[in-house]
């Protein structure tokens, strides 16, 4: 295992060890979260840990099944005890950009429903200022008008295309994903609200309004 993977595993396992018996856990999408799920599966088998998970993507649901983590829904459990997720960039003030896995709409819903939001990253994801392209989930019908508005906001929207398929990436919700560069983001909360105010935008990957309940775990490679 390389050093980055070891750091991700360290962070994921530390988050999983925070999970208490009998609680409802939001399960994010991505490699670092999957290490947390791996550890949760181990605890279920060895400790008899009893939890229910709410997955943020089809991929996470399949991985949970593989690890033996029983699942539930937000309809049955609209308030979660904890949500564990990764991030693409995180500032010292715990504002972040997420969405490289195109699951940020469901991830933000799950994080909002959770009493505590635990974000697991390796040290490369720590930045002084957010400057990554912002993933945006857009209703296909509206992508032309939305992109025009994003340009007016100072962004450079680019449709995300599939790697092992031709054409655009389609989210689990059936929508397009655009990555929109804004350069350095001086006011993440303002940008988050401005993007979401555009009709046709379902959600964007700036997470700037959950800092009070957010805990960031930075994994180490040793």
Question: Which residues are designated catalytic?
Answer: 107
Q: Phi and psi of 123, rounded to 5°? A: -65, -20
**CA pair distance 127, 96, nearest whole angstrom:** 9
Handedness of CA 72, 76, 82, 87 (dihedral sign): positive
Q: 86 a known binding residue?
A: yes
Q: 32 a known binding residue?
A: yes
Contact 119, 213 (CB under 8 A): no
**CA pair distance 112, 135, nearest whole angstrom:** 18
Q: Which two tokens stand for residue 62?
A: 């399949």
Q: 85 a known binding residue?
A: yes
Q: 12 a known binding residue?
A: no
Q: 101 a known binding residue?
A: yes
How do beta strands 24-27 and 82-85 pair?
Answer: parallel
Handedness of CA 124, 155, 110, 69 (dihedral sign): negative
**CA pair distance 172, 219, nearest whole angstrom:** 29
**Residue 16, number of CB atoms within 10 A of its CB:** 23
**CA pair distance 109, 104, nearest whole angstrom:** 8
Q: 220 a known binding residue?
A: no
Q: 100 a known binding residue?
A: yes
Q: Which whole-number Å values give the CA distances from 15 to 82, 117, 153, in the listed order?
A: 10, 10, 37
Q: 165 a known binding residue?
A: no
Q: 98 a known binding residue?
A: yes
Q: 87 a known binding residue?
A: yes
Give the annotated binding-site residues: 29-32, 85-88, 98-101, 125
Positions at the binding site for substrate: 29-32, 85-88, 98-101, 125
């Amino acid at each position: 295992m390389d050093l980055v993977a070891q750091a991700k595993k360290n962070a994921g396992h530390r988050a999983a060890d925070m999970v208490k018996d009998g609680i409802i856990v939001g399960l994010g999408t991505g490699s670092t979260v999957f290490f947390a799920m791996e550890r949760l599966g181990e605890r279920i088998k060895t400790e008899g840990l009893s939890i229910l998970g709410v997955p943020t993507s089809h991929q996470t649901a399949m991985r949970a099944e593989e690890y033996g983590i029983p699942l539930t829904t937000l309809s049955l459990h609209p308030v979660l005890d904890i949500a564990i997720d990764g991030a693409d960039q995180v500032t010292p003030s715990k504002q972040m950009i997420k969405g490289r896995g195109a699951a940020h709409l469901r991830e933000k819903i799950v994080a909002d429903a959770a009493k505590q939001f635990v974000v697991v990253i390796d040290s490369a994801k720590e930045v002084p200022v957010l400057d990554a392209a912002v993933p945006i989930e857009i209703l296909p019908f509206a992508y032309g008008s939305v992109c025009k508005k994003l340009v007016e906001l100072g962004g450079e929207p680019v449709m995300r295309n599939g790697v092992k398929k031709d054409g655009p990436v389609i989210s689990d919700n059936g929508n397009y994903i655009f990555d929109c560069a804004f350069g350095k983001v001086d006011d993440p909360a303002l940008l988050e609200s401005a993007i979401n105010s555009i009709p046709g935008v379902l959600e964007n990957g700036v997470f700037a309004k959950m800092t009070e309940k957010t805990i960031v775990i930075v994994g180490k490679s040793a």
